Structure 1
Amino acid sequence: MDDAGPALERAIDALLDARAPGATICPSEAARAVDPEGWRDLMPQARAAAGRLAQRGEVEVTQRGAVVDVATARGPVRVRRAGR
């Protein structure tokens, strides 16, 4: 899947909409929703999609509970609605 970015952004939104306020998701959940078989290959795009949503102020990307820049974060991150 060449440009899964928009689909990943929609998946992140849908997953967060389905969760309780303040709950988080892993970018891998969005990748799995878009391509259940090839989700691992989508992980860089899933993180980038979370980063774009964070730049627009729609979500926050966290690591160990602290807000981070997904572009520079190393290791696992979580995504939550902004301001939670």
Structure 2
Amino acid sequence: MLDQELRTVIMELIRERGSKKTICPSEVARAFASDNWRELMDDVRAVARNLHQKWRVQIEKDGKSVDPDNVSGPIRLRLREDSDE
């Protein structure tokens, strides 16, 4: 259930931001649980990886698309231009 709720928040924030801009996973965690957002970061990143695998979200680091299974440090999320979302 948590995964579905995080997915919803990710997609809402990305749509609000617009297709040319990105969001930070911490924005998702803070929108979901402002007091304990750090505890959700691993979950947010896992849901983002799943969305990436389903071709809905692009994961970027330093402005370039990256493999979410082989990236560390800060990442950004963007709605894929070819997404059906």
TM-score by length of 2: 0.88
Q: Is the 8 A contact 1:27 1:77 kept in 2?
A: yes
Amino acid at match of 1:67: S
Q: Which runs of 5+ in 1 are unaligned?
A: none
Note if 1:35 corresponds to 2:5.
no
1:83 Cα deviation after fit: 3.0
Q: Which runs of 5+ in 2 are unaligned?
A: none
Greater helix share, 1 or 2?
2
Distance 2:57 2:12 in 1: 12
Q: Is the 8 A contact 2:19 2:81 kept in 1?
A: no
RMSD value, Cα = 1.4
Partner secondary structure for residue 28 of structure 2: helix
TM-score by length of 1: 0.89
Q: How does 1:1-84 map to 2 (within 5 A)?
A: 4-83=2-81
